[in-house]
Amino acid sequence: MEEIKNDEFLECKNYKELFEAIHYKKHTKVVFKDLTVLFSDEKVFITTSANPTPIAFFDIDEIYNHRIPIKRIIEALC
């Protein structure tokens, strides 16, 4: 599957949309509730609307190889 990047952000309405957006990496910025998930070529950053400094960041490979439980982390932050 070819990776498609859309520089416009995606606003997710529920967890399912959020996790699909993270899995397929079609956007560089995904917004869900108070959290923003930003994608670079090698990292995923999580910020809040109140603080643009990342509160968490991970290597993309660790997320996609299921070494980082991103779903649990985001659920805990929300």
| Full pLDDT tens readout for the chain, 78 residues | 344 455 678 899 988 888 888 777 777 888 988 899 888 888 889 999 888 899 988 888 887 777 777 778 888 877
So what's the pLDDT on residue 21?
82
So what's the pLDDT on residue 5?
57
DSSP 2-62: ----BSS-EE-SSHHHHHHHHHHT-BSEEEETTEEEEE-SSEEEEEESS--S-SEEEEHHH
